[in-house]
Chains A and B, each alone.
Chain A
Amino acid sequence: MRPLRYVSSSTLDAVVAGLTAGDRLLAGGTDLLPLLKADLVHTTQLVDIKRAPLSGAIQRTPGGLRIGALATLAAIADSPLLDGPCSLLRQAARQTATVQIRNRATLGGNLLQRPRCWYYRNSRSDCWLKGGQGCPAVEGHHEHHAIFDDSPCRAAHPSDLAGCLLALDAAVVLYGLAGERSVSLHDFFRAPDSERRRETILGNDEIITAVDIPALPAGTVSIYLKAMDRKAWAFALVGMGIVLHRTGTTLDTVHIAATGLAQVPRRLAYCEQALAGTTAADVHIDAALQVLGRGASPLPGNAYKLDLARGLLERGLRSL
């Protein structure tokens, strides 16, 4: 049997000290336990952080909103504070996983969940992300995979919330041996490369303590649209988060972020540029849809995701 110690820690410093010794943090455990069982994560000590001095509160702050790393997806789905510009978070949380998982899963764990790629998760298959060579999805089944090839790994990022937070220009608050730092989500997520076969730049000694969402001008609206293979309990084929603000009829803020298209959640900068400063008339929407695939290199089995992303973007823009 594999010995596995389960402990809980009462100080953050003790938690981060343990991380360098190979401890693994257990929040809701909804991703960690499957990964442990599939031999994709190895550790001898699990540190339950639900009793650490970490918050799960969703609060207003002078600069906007703060969501504690331990906030459950259920709490996010129900929070009255997440309205207006942040309502897309609620929508995304409500479309994530199942009620049972949402009751357990936390925001911190959600941002750090590993890809759902069926080659990565299959213990009989070898792949680059697991330390091997090559990506079997390229020649194999990649219907759910990334259409951008920013990494030797073709897995698409699975988190619905991550895309939404990226569209909100949110930042993660990290705590490590060197103290606290704030990193924008834009920098936090980074496609895996040969030095770092992971989707974030989180340090080996760091823990997420919270996510900060900057205040957005009054009247900012948002939407999250998720295309799935079935009506519930499925990961996004494509998820589209849109945050807009208008002055008069002109769009002065256009943030668009997609999940399911790339190795990390991705801002659709070309689309944003095509729309910013316009009235979002049909021609502008068309122009945004035209550039949605710029830079993409879809595989034969996932080119449909481009059509799907366009469909979601158009639907979202027209409904806001």
Chain B
Amino acid sequence: MADPAAPHSQAPVLRREARQKVTGRAHFTSDIELPGQLYAGILRSPHARARVRRIDASMVREVAGVRDVITHGDDPGIRWYGEEVPTFGEELRFVGDEVAAVTADSEESVWDGLRAFTIAYEVLEPVIGLAQAACANAPLVYRDKPGNLAAEPQVYCRGDVEAGFAAADVVVTGAWTTQTALHNALEPHGCNAWWDGELLNLWVSTQSIFTVRNNVARKLGLPLNRVRVHSQHIGGGFGAKQVDWKPTVIAAILARRSNRPVKLMLDREAESLAAGNRNATRQQLKLGATRDGRLCAISATIAIDGGAHTLGGENSMVAGCYQQLYACDNVYTEQRQYYSNTGPAVAFRAPGYVEGTAALEQAMDELATELQLDPFVLRERNYTARDQLRDKAYSSPDALRRCYSAAREAFNWPLRPTPQVARKCRGIGMAASVWPGGNSHPPAYTTLVVQGDGSVSLLTGAQDIGTGTRTVLAQVAAQVLELAPGRVEVVIGDTATELHAPPSAGSATLATLGPAVHTAATELRGQVLALAARELHADVETLRMDNGYVREAAGSRAVSLADLAAAAAPGSLRSSGAVLAKPGASSPCTFAVQCAEVEVDLDTAEITLLRLVCAPDCGAIVNRLLADSQVIGGVTQGLGFALTEERLVDEASGLVLNANLEDYLVPTVADVPPITHAIVDLPDYSENPLGVKGLGEPPIIATAPAIVNAVCDALGVRLRDLPLNRQRMLAALTQTARPS
């Protein structure tokens, strides 16, 4: 199966910035300090729904160190989100909504300034949570959006669902819910803005420097060539940093007004209130199957709590898994997004599919129990090699099957190797997932240059969200150029390269840029060999590249890249590679199968995860270490979603009660069991000659349902609401027939 184009298959190359990061020497946005810099902060609404009657900033201007104050009216014509609201609204729609901003000489003066505002609010009754939002007589978050519906319901139908259910021997039905979760990237959102004459420079913690550049330019009415965005290291984003949020534009406005650089970083509270979240869902499902376990119909009615705004292009695709994961002729899905007076939802690692799969895969488990079928067997009976949504074959029709067998084998399913302990019971569970991402997201451009000393530079306008982009791109180039990857310096995180690259999102980076780099490297290799042939008076066919030299395969003559670069002068050895379109003949999805073993304490209902196995399909694996990191990180985030992570909002006031890392519980090391990455490594050449797809998102999707299914297996009781907190677990304990 090995293709010559596949770079160092599974090579465990250490991430290039690993040492820099662990020794604190990587500079993140929050580390950027510019000469003469001022600090800025945002005054946020204390009310979930209110009108600003009057803003008195006179005391703010009196505060020592405060330089400037802006409120509504100071952001001429700029509009945000699908609802076209101003930067500082007179109508406030969630606790944390932006009211005003201040610049000052120090962060302390910013805080003092923010405390000195006197604002008269007219406080209105808020709409909190799905139940309220969808209620017939609920207040309206937007006067012109009846029923608090953010959009027309999205309806999808194939086949005849009624007939499908009529033919079913067994039906599983009910409502499942998933909670609002916060991204909680280690580094909050923020930026540093500096006008170098007419050129706006922005250092931004972002997953998409070009999205920020283009949108900031549009909002400020600047030509694209007057905005330059920098982002060298990003402390995580998980989807919440692929849009241009208000603080970037606010900092740019403040910087222009003061003629000084302005730094504006969100604190953890603001990050939790106003920088995106995974939307809560309620999913009413019905699955029908024949006695032998073939799905005859699926119906899903889905409600989404999108918060106060809709963010372009981030609409959650909760219905997707119902349409794509299993062979089923009759599928009906209906998805409604509601407004509520809470911070807006935004993409969060595998948006929609995490929420949908959590419900679908729990329901499939219930179906397996009803049918007395092994959960793997039920799923394999409903295997599909086609993407029924797009009506195309999957580009890797066998991938999910390979995931099933890799997971089953690594987990040793259904064996429970560990003995039972008194007053504890154990269970196992599994779940599968499909994800429409992990493929190319054109356009993307790269440039490769051999420098005068023979070193090689690779340029592209990507950014590294933390997945190791520099490392894999260097590996791809180095493989073709037969260099040690360390000889290739990768320049990213700067729009001034003018080499557009996709957002670090949709698990698209490697699948998009890998092929572009491969094209550029192949072209460069051709140039190098041709020039070497001229210099050595040899036939190209007799030459090979070898660690910075071109050598005769048979003879002893060689020429270095440095000499070749000199020989090329005044020209240069440089090439470019681009990916401009998706192949599109088949559907390049990615898949995963996960298994969990858990232990539940019969006295305290405490859940202990014993082991997790994740077998993701991501095409060819280019770097085993980085792939493992994605799997461990995704599964860890998934187990937080299953067990502890939930944004809690007070219904009366709309306050977020756990907008901090004390009460919002992300997993600690002690919560994370051994996670096994069961390798699939199945190259998919339909999309690109490297056979690569993406791996950022697939590992998070099936984690929560695998864990819930294991807990339900342990207790013999079904739980349908996430997360599995103590309250829910103790309620389940009272129903269990397990020995007490």
Q: Hey, which bits of chain A sit against chain B, CB under 8 A?
A: 1-2, 116, 118-119, 122, 124-125, 136, 139-141, 143, 227, 229-234, 237, 301, 304, 307-308, 311-312, 314-315
Q: Which residues of A contact B667 (CB under 8 A)?
A: 230
Check B726–A140 contact: CB distance below 8 A. no
User: Given A125-B655, A229-B644, A230-B665, A1–B606 Cβ distance below 8 Å?
Assistant: no
Bound form: Cα–Cα A125–B46 in Å: 9
Query: Contacts A118-B663, A311-B604 hold; do A1 and B652 have CB atoms under 8 A apart?
Result: no
A311 touching B727, Cβ below 8 Å: no
A118 with B657: CB separation less than 8 A: yes
Residues of chain A within 8 A of B608, CB atoms compared: 231
Is B539 part of the contact surface with A, judged by Cβ < 8 Å? Answer: no
Which residue on B lies nearest to A231, using beta carbons? B670
Q: Which residue of B lies closest to A124 (CB)?
A: B46
Hey, which chain A residues are within 8 Å of B423, CB to CB?
315
Bound Cα distance from A116 to B64, whole angstroms: 33
The answer to whether B604 and A141 have CB atoms under 8 Å apart is no
In the bound complex, residues from chain A placing their C-beta under 8 Å from that of B108 are 1
User: Which chain A residue has the least Cβ–Cβ distance from B604?
Assistant: A311
* Contact across chains for B726 and A227 when beta carbons are under 8 A apart: yes
Q: Which residues from chain B contact A143 at a C-beta distance below 8 Å? A: 725, 727
Decide if B75 is an interface residue (CB 8 Å cutoff).
no
9 closest A-B pairs by CB: A311-B603, A231-B670, A118-B657, A232-B670, A311-B604, A124-B46, A304-B727, A304-B730, A140-B650
Task: Report chain B residues within 8 Å CB of A304.
Answer: 726-727, 730-731
CA distance A141 to B733 in the complex (A): 22
A119 to B663, CA, bound (A): 12
A210 to B589, CA, bound (A): 65
Contact at B727–A136, with CB atoms within 8 Å?
no
Q: Which of B652-671 contact A (CB under 8 A)?
A: 652-653, 655, 657-658, 662-663, 665, 667-671
Across the interface, do B652 and A136 meet the contact criterion of CB distance under 8 Å? yes
Q: Are A314 and B658 in contact (CB under 8 A)?
A: no
Cα distance A3–B696 in the bound complex, in angstroms: 48
| Residue B139 CB within 8 A of the other chain | no
The answer to whether the Cβ of B264 comes within 8 Å of any Cβ in the partner chain is no
Residues in B whose Cβ lies below 8 Å from that of A301: 727
Which of the residues A1, A118, A234, A311 comes within 8 Å of B605, measured between beta carbons? A311
- Residues of chain A with a CB closer than 8 A to B669's CB: 232
In the complex, what distance in Å separates the CA atom of A308 from the CA atom of B731? 11
A140 and B651 contact, CB distance less than 8 A = yes
Instruction: State the total of A-B contacts with C-beta under 8 angstroms.
Output: 85
Which of A1, A136, A234 is in CB contact (< 8 Å) with B109?
A1
| Bound: A124/B270 CA distance, A | 13
From A1, A232, A312, name the one whose CB has the most chain B CB atoms within 10 angstroms: A1
**27 A–B contacts, CB within 8 A, in A order:** A1-B64, A1-B108, A2-B112, A118-B648, A118-B657, A119-B657, A122-B657, A124-B46, A124-B653, A124-B655, A136-B650, A136-B652, A141-B650, A141-B657, A227-B726, A229-B725, A230-B643, A230-B644, A230-B668, A230-B670, A230-B671, A231-B608, A231-B668, A237-B726, A314-B603, A315-B603, A315-B604
Q: Is the CB of B652 within 8 A of A308?
A: no
Interface residue B65 (Cβ < 8 Å from any Cβ of A): yes
Q: How far is the CA of A125 from the CA of B269 in the complex (A)?
A: 14
* Measured CA separation A303–B648 after assembly (Å): 18
Determine if B727 and A118 form an interchain contact, defined as CB atoms under 8 angstroms apart.
no
- The digit string for B385-429, where 1 denotes a CB below 8 A from any CB of A, is 000000000000000000000000000000000000001000000
Contact partners of B95 in chain A: CB under 8 A: 124
Residue of A nearest to B672 (CB): A231
A136 adjacent to B653 (CB under 8 Å): yes
Smallest distance from the beta carbon of B440 to chain A beta carbons, Å?
Answer: 39
State how many angstroms separate the Cβ of B319 from the closest Cβ of chain A. Answer: 30
- Distance, CA A181 to CA B608, complexed state (A): 46
Closest A residue to B606 by CB, please name it: A227
Asked if residues A234 and B665 are in contact (CB atoms below 8 Å), the reply is: yes
Bound complex: CA of A311 vs CA of B734, how far in Å? 12
Q: How far is the CA of A143 from the CA of B726 in the complex (A)?
A: 10
Chain A: minimal CB distance from B355 (Å): 22
Complexed CA–CA distance, A232 and B657 (Å): 20
The minimal Cβ–Cβ distance linking A9 to chain B, given in whole angstroms, is 26
* Nearest CB of chain A from residue B102's CB, rounded to whole Å: 14
Which residues of the partner chain B approach A2 to less than 8 Å between Cβ atoms? 112
Q: Give the residue name and chain of the A residue nearest to B659 (CB).
A: A122
**Extra 19 A-B pairs, beta carbons < 8 Å, given A118-B657, A232-B669, A304-B730:** A1-B64, A124-B46, A124-B653, A125-B655, A136-B650, A136-B653, A141-B650, A229-B644, A230-B665, A230-B668, A231-B608, A231-B670, A232-B671, A234-B665, A304-B726, A307-B605, A308-B726, A311-B601, A311-B603
Query: Which B565-592 residues have a C-beta within 8 angstroms of A?
Result: none
**B648 & A141 in contact (Cβ 8 Å cutoff):** yes
Question: Complex formed: what's the CA distance from A12 to B693 in Å?
Answer: 68
Contact of A227 among B46, B604, B644, B658 (CB under 8 A): B604
**Cβ of B173 to closest chain A Cβ, rounded Å:** 27
A239 to B657, CA, bound (A): 23
Q: Indicate which residue in A116, A307, A312, A315 contacts B733 across the interface (CB closer than 8 Å).
A: A307
- Chain B residues closer than 8 Å to A124, beta-carbon distance: 46, 95, 653, 655
Distance in Å: Cβ of B641 to nearest Cβ of chain A: 13
Docked complex Cα distance between A14 and B730 (Å)? 52
Partner of A308, one of B605, B655, B670: B605
Chain A residues near B655 (CB-CB < 8 A): 122, 124-125
Identify which of B603, B665, B727 contacts A312 (C-beta below 8 A): B603
Mark contacts of B83-127 with chain A using CB atoms, 8 A cut-off: 1 yes-contact digit, 0 otherwise.
000000000000100000000000011001000000000000000
Question: With A229-B644, A230-B644 as given contacts, are A139 and B652 in contact (CB-CB < 8 Å)?
Answer: yes
Question: Hey, which chain B residues are within 8 Å of A233, CB to CB?
Answer: 668
Assembly CA distance A227 to B726 (angstroms): 9
Given A136-B652, A140-B650, A301-B727, A1 and B112 contact (CB-CB distance below 8 Å): yes
Distance to closest chain A CB from B423 (angstroms): 7
A234 to B643, CA, bound (A): 14
B239 to chain A, nearest CB (A): 23
- Max count, chain A CB within 10 A of own CB: residue among B108, B644, B650, B668: B650
Say yes or no: A116 contacts B604, CB within 8 Å. no
Q: In the complex, are the beta carbons of A307 and B730 less than 8 A apart? A: yes
**A232→B668 contact, CB < 8 A:** yes
Contacts of B648 in A (CB 8 A): 118, 141
Q: Mark B665-692, 1 if CB is under 8 A from A, else 0.
A: 1011111000000000000000000000
Contact code string B27-70 (vs A, CB < 8 Å = 1, else 0): 00000000000000000001000000000000000001100000
Could you say which residues of chain B place their CB within 8 Å of the CB of A227?
Answer: 604, 606, 726
| Complex Cα spacing A140 to B650, Å | 6
Q: How far is the CA of A307 from the CA of B730 in the complex (A)?
A: 7
Chain A residue nearest to B45 in the complex (CB): A124
Give the distance in Å from the alpha carbon of A141 to the alpha carbon of B654 in the complex. Answer: 12
* Residue interface bits B624-650, CB-to-A below 8 A is 1, else 0: 000000000000000000011000101
- How many angstroms between the C-alpha atoms of A307 and B669 in the bound complex? 28
CA distance A139 to B650 in the complex (A): 9
List the B residue with the shortest CB-CB distance to A144: B663
**Cα distance A140–B652 in the bound complex, in angstroms:** 7
- A314–B601 CA distance with the chains assembled, in angstroms: 13
**B603 / chain A contacts, CB cutoff of 8 Å:** 311-312, 314-315
Q: A311 CB to closest chain B CB, in angstroms?
A: 4
Minimum CB–CB distance for A53 against chain B, Å: 34
**B658 with A118: CB separation less than 8 A:** yes
CB-CB under 8 A from A237, the residues of chain B are: 726
Complex CA–CA separation, A119 to B667 (angstroms): 24
> How far is B649's CA from A136's CA once the two chains are assembled, in angstroms?
12
Which one of A122, A139, A141, A237 has the greatest number of beta carbons of chain B within 10 Å?
A122
Cβ contacts under 8 Å, B643 to chain A? 230
Residues of B within 8 A of A229 (CB): 644, 665, 725-726
Contact of B652 with A312 in the complex, beta carbons under 8 Å? no
Query: Taking CB as reference atom, which chain B residue is nearest A37?
Result: B111
